[in-house]
Every structure is written in structure tokens, then in C-alpha cells.
Structure 1
Amino acid sequence: MYTKVCPTCSHKSFSSCSTFDWECPVCATDLTLQYASVAGGSVVKRALPFTKQLTFVIKSSKINQQI
């Protein structure tokens, strides 16, 4: 389980995945690019949307094909 705290309303939200579009359930603030922490722990990981990671991979493979 991952958790994020909304900077607008300070509400804590939970999810089983850290890599998807994430909105605050109270005020609908976009939390996608916020840091997610493991619920009950102190480990922090960057939560990037899957589409941004996929876009990077596609661009990298195009660069490699041109070389």
C-alpha cells in the first residue's frame, strides 16, 4: 500500500499502486507527480505515471535505431 498527502487539504489517500494518475479524493488535486511513501514505513519512491515512463522508453529506442 502506498500513501500520499494532499498539499491543498492535507488529506491522506491510499492506493495499492504508485504508478498511475492519482487525485485527492476530497478536493480532486492532481497528486500524480507527488512522492508516494509506503504505508506504515518510511521508504519514499517517486511515483511517475506509466505513460511518461513508456514515452521515455519509446524515445530511447528511436535514438538507438538512428545510431
Structure 2
Amino acid sequence: MDDRLLNVAEVALQLGTKERFVRRLIAERRIAYVKVGTHVRIQQSVLTAYIKEATVDAVDMHWHGNGLVA
């Protein structure tokens, strides 16, 4: 598994968000990060785990009687 260190811009690109969101995750300590001097880096494996943890599973919906139920 490639566990390279990503900068904030790379993480934002993978998440499809702005860098500000990633910096907020870091400031709120909602994602683990590595400090390299004054630079902040996030390991690819940490980002993958964050995405997996934040993923909401789909619910199987079907029709029953008068409406749609889970």
C-alpha cells in the first residue's frame, strides 16, 4: 500500500473540498497528521481510513403497502 505523505492541497483534491476544510479537520484534530518542520502532511492511509469512517452505507429501500420503507 502506498503510504506517502500528502500536503493539504492534495488531500483537498482527493476529498473534493477546499483546503480550508482540510485545515479545519487538522485544527479540530479530527484527522491525524504529521508535522514536518512547519509543514503539515497527512498519510494516504490516514486519509483512506477517514473516508471509510465517514462513509454512510446505503439503505435498501422497498415498497410496502402505501409507501417506501427501509
Q: Compute the TM-score of the two structures, normalised by the length of structure 1.
A: 0.29
Larger radius of gyration: 2
Task: Name the one with the larger helix percent.
Answer: 2
- TM-score between both structures, scaled by the size of structure 2: 0.28
